[in-house]
Structure 1
Amino acid sequence: MVLLDNLLPILDLSTGAMVVKSIIALYFAILFLQSGIDKVVNWQGNLSWLTGYFSKTFLKDRVPAMLGVIAVTEVVAGAFSAIGIVELLLIDGYSFALYGAALSTLNFVMLFFGQRIAQDYDAAAAMTNYFTIGVIAMIILGVPL
């Protein structure tokens, strides 16, 4: 019975919506801040790996620019998501969380494109799951509290 009593506030539609939106924003904040910061901190390692990954594609000469775009998009998506958590908790707003989810989903599309061009079909197939999560997150975050 104690468990049910603890869950009742989450089941309230307005509070429950805020909790779900906050968890979505937290997921994207963790995912993209870690990934984006790793790309910045370990630039050479990522650049080296991606240069080999795209070595047989028409993108081979664009790897540094692509890595830069992906790194910036990831950091901004993660930062917007983190700001979105604060916005959700303090003022019941959700704009930044929605922007974070939208940038996250855009990032998934860019990664999917690169994987398809590199003919890494298994990784591209796995990216579809992330894309689906991103689209669902945008739908949930786009609904007013």
Structure 2
Amino acid sequence: MKIILNHSAELLILIFLIITFLMSVIDKLTDWKGNVAFLKSHFANTFVPPLIPITLLIILILEVLTTVFCSLGIFEIIAEKNTSYSLVGSIISCVILLLFLLGQRIAKDFDGARHITIYFIVSVFAVFLFQN
């Protein structure tokens, strides 16, 4: 119990990242066609539409990796007091969010880009915590 209390911020951030990216993975797996259709309309006036299926697959793989590493990170913190998996999961989450930000900027969806910044702050803070 003491380990959980001493690492509560780290554990809560990992849970936040797991929920965020696991729900995104589930959404992509259960509604792949809907996601592709939405993204094609979102990026209709850009060069992106032909790249959407492969990009979405890459994002899906990165989200699965983030979820796995952050989940392993919880157990690693509790069992071994180590943060290697947590750091990797947090870094991958930052990469994903930077890709999302790039996409929103390409689509000129500045409000969407602003919302991604909130998630990015949490992810960068996680990287900061797990590097120490």
TM-score by length of 1: 0.84
Cα RMSD, aligned residues only: 1.4
1:34 aligned partner, one-letter code = M
Which residue number in structure 1 is paired with residue 27 of structure 2? 38
The answer to whether structure 1 residue 65 and structure 2 residue 65 are counterparts is no
Q: Separation in 1 of the partners of 2:74 and 2:4?
A: 14
Superposed displacement of residue 48, structure 1 = 0.9
The answer to whether structure 1 residue 21 and structure 2 residue 17 are counterparts is no
Q: Which of 116, 124, 127 is the equivalent residue of 1:138?
A: 127
- Assess if the C-alpha contact under 8 Å between 2:43 and 2:107 holds in 1: yes
Deviations 1:33-66 (A, max 9, x none): 1111211221111111111111110111101011
Q: Separation in 2 of the partners of 1:52 and 1:89?
A: 44
Which residue number in structure 2 is paired with residue 103 of structure 1? 92
- Assess if the C-alpha contact under 8 Å between 1:54 and 1:63 holds in 2: no
What residue ranges of structure 2 are gaps of 5+ in the alignment?
none
- Assess if the C-alpha contact under 8 Å between 1:37 and 1:75 holds in 2: no
What residue ranges of structure 1 are gaps of 5+ in the alignment?
1-8
Q: Separation in 2 of the partners of 1:42 and 1:89?
A: 35
Q: Separation in 2 of the partners of 1:142 and 1:17?
A: 16
| Equivalent runs, 1:64-103 vs 2, <5 Å | 64-103=53-92
> Once superposed, which parts of structure 1, at least 4 consecutive aligned residues long, lie more than 3 Å away?
14-17
Structure exhibiting the larger radius of gyration computed from Cα positions: 1
- Assess if the C-alpha contact under 8 Å between 2:13 and 2:122 holds in 1: no
- Assess if the C-alpha contact under 8 Å between 1:37 and 1:71 holds in 2: no
1:114 aligned partner, one-letter code = G
The answer to whether structure 1 residue 126 and structure 2 residue 115 are counterparts is yes
Q: Separation in 2 of the partners of 1:15 and 1:86?
A: 11
Which residue number in structure 1 is paired with residue 101 of structure 2? 112
